[in-house]
Structure 1
């Protein structure tokens, strides 16, 4: 039985909306966590040094060693919640590609994980990004394809032309196979 659903996709690809749709459509309660939750929990000082998390004016993201330490602890904490019986949906952006997936695999060792690639054409993601006040312009375009390089998924969904509800329905079917 799937215990963890990990949605990986670029900024503004629709991961959070899909995660919320999944939460509302699954018959058992699932907790939802996002990389944005971790970032929002960090002190402002983490964004002022190279060892923290540098967000470039061009949309680039550069995680430093202090960020990586906190991110690792966060991932292990989520793994422990699942081991104690929680079902969890994660919405993440694999900035470091295969290394990001490997980090999750280590944290979730022994658990049943469904790996979901959330795709969205960079033009569509960029248009969504412009509508949101909490995004750095350029981030969606920079991440749209890069976060998927070298990543194997159990299922892929594309929000360019499919609704979040449709994508969640496809994921839900995969869970119940």
Structure 2
């Protein structure tokens, strides 16, 4: 199973993921796009000219998606911490995660709280989370949703665990994949 947390920067995905690892009955791995990004020499990457940097970041994110698929296909249960801030990311995940059990969880947080968290953290670009709000949730379909401004990470994790106990077999990823195929019948 893949529990896929999608939300803006500073929305609380990583905190929920950590709490989920403690809440779930069986061992899960936490795979985070931020941790994946930290595996390279950031200064060198950020010094690349814009077209090269964009290509580098796209390759890295596509590699992350394939690493998630590889871990799951090897039989591992995962909590994935990512964001669909570009349409291709969702489409790529729909393709490479096909055939896997993905529970898509929307992690929501209002703009004022995102800005407060960015200021408190000090390691985020001010306004980044708010700027991502529309694009990250544009697809509009989730299996389950949480609001981190009204629940703690632990409470969100408990709600997700409770949802998993009664979750229907039909998944948001299946619906989104079907939409993509209806829009582009040549899509695989």
Shift of 1:51: 3.3
Shift of 1:91: 0.7
Q: Which residue of 2 aligns with 1:61?
A: none
Which protein is bigger by CA-based radius of gyration? 2
Q: Which residue of 2 aligns with 1:45?
A: 44
Summarize deviations over 1:60-89 as a string: whole Å, max 9, x none: xxxx12221222122112211111111111
TM-score (norm 2): 0.81
Q: Which residue of 2 aligns with 1:57?
A: none
Q: Which residue of 2 aligns with 1:123?
A: 112
TM-score (norm 1): 0.86
Alignment of 1:131-146 (within 5 A): 131-146=120-135
SS in 2 for 1:144: helix
Q: Which residue of 2 aligns with 1:7?
A: 5
Q: More helix per residue: 1 or 2?
A: 2
In the alignment, does 2:32 pair up with 1:34? yes
* Cα separation, 2, equivalents of 1:159 and 1:93: 15
Point out where structure 2 has 5 or more consecutive residues left out of the alignment. Answer: 167-188
Matched-pair contact (CA < 8 Å) for 2:86–2:135: no
Aligned residues: 164
Matched-pair contact (CA < 8 Å) for 1:10–1:145: no
Point out where structure 1 has 5 or more consecutive residues left out of the alignment. Answer: 54-63
Q: Which residue of 2 aligns with 1:83?
A: 73
SS in 2 for 1:110: coil
SS in 1 for 2:146: strand
